[in-house]
Amino acid sequence: MARNNKHGLGKGLDSLIPDIAGTEENEEAPKAEKGAETLVDINKVEPNREQPRKIFNEDALQELSESIKQYGIIQPLLVQKKDDYYEIIAGERRWRAAKKAGLKKVPVIVRDLSEQEIVEISLIENIQREDLNPIEEALAYKRLLEDFDLKQDEVAEKVSKSRAAVTNSLRLLKLDKRVQQMLVDEMITPGHARAILNIEDPDQQYEFAQRIFDEKMSVREVEKEIKRLNNKKPEKEKKEEPQIDESLLNQLRSIEEQLKQKTGTKVQITPKNRESGKIEIDYFSNEEFEKIMGCFNNIQ
């Protein structure tokens, strides 16, 4: 039976665990080949605390549990031996459903893998089945980058995704934590979230995310609105008028008028306070400039 290579990730998983065939999506189908598997006490099997997936859909688990009651576990769990228990590398969903179904023992395949291989397998398995929410996926990529000193293109190759897809996923971690939770809770979509990244202020990100949810905005509407907000220029602050008494202003207007008559051009006196200000004199040719300078030269 051909393996379901949804999203092109099957090859990456097979290269790491070649003895395992089939996916959890077609768990009830017959196995193409049997690996070396062992039945162990279900209570001696525990999940990996570092596994990327943290949230499990209870309805889906119940459905799988009912199937397991009828057909058993077709696909064995991949585990590694610890001191007195087995730690799940792949198959936590099956393990949880088996416990719901009341199974006493579960089939496992024991492997001795490095920590990096365990993270890679857990990530690939969950991505292939679309079990991770966007934040879980981004955190898994981040761990591969930081804990195992991988580059983004190396991570992308391991999970059979483009580097751009990995980069866009990691960018979601720059969102305000409250917005990340809204994404996990499916109150907004990854498309909405990527658009919100164009807002720098965390509080504004959260406020806008709430607006998206309340107003049921489409991704296109969000992108258009954020672009409008970012292009909106702040209104210029109105300059405060200097506090000058009326008598001084009248005196300055009189001097301004006298200078206009002497120079023959526009003159403006702008006070800053009672003791300072500026005088502006316009000229529009060399001849006017020389005339103005001549007026000042003649002042005794």
CA distances, 299 to each of 53, 107, 181, 231, 293 (Å): 87, 108, 76, 52, 10
240 tagged catalytic: no
Please give the span between the terminal C-alpha atoms of the chain, in angstroms, as a whole number.
109
CA distance 40 to 31: 20
Could you write out the DSSP letters of every residue in 96-118?
HHHHHHT-SEEEEEE----HHHH
CB 216 within 8 A of CB 188: no
Q: Where are the beta strands (DSSP E) in 115-274?
A: 267-271
Question: Catalytic one among 92, 120, 125, 136?
Answer: 92
Task: Indicate the residue type of 201.
Answer: D
CB 22 within 8 A of CB 109: no
Give catalytic residues, as residue numbers.
92
